[in-house]
Amino acid sequence: MAKTIVAVYKDGVFKPLQKIDFPEHKHVHLVVIPEEDADLLESQRKELSDIIGIGESGVRDVSRRHDHYLYEG
């Protein structure tokens, strides 16, 4: 099961900022995303969620007026 754990890198070790319920010495794979990138990803996720489903919305002129729907909303 994948978990998102916020941590700080200090003295060559990633240290979680909250208590983790995990077995000692368990091997894991880390995907490190710097906090600035995580903020960008969240912003992008929000923007994309705003346009999800536009193809099923019943709007018929999306291809002609896509700038209007994306930027003027």
CA distance 18 to 7: 8
Question: 27 pLDDT exceeds 90?
Answer: yes
Query: Regarding predicted confidence, which is higher, 23 or 56?
Result: 23
pLDDT of 17 reads 95
Q: What is the pLDDT of residues 3-24, one digit of tens each?
A: 889 999 999 999 999 999 989 9
Query: Regarding predicted confidence, which is higher, 60 or 26?
Result: 26
Distances (CA, A) of 23 to 27, 39, 70: 9, 29, 46
Question: 73 pLDDT exceeds 70?
Answer: no
For residue 64, the 8-state DSSP code is: T
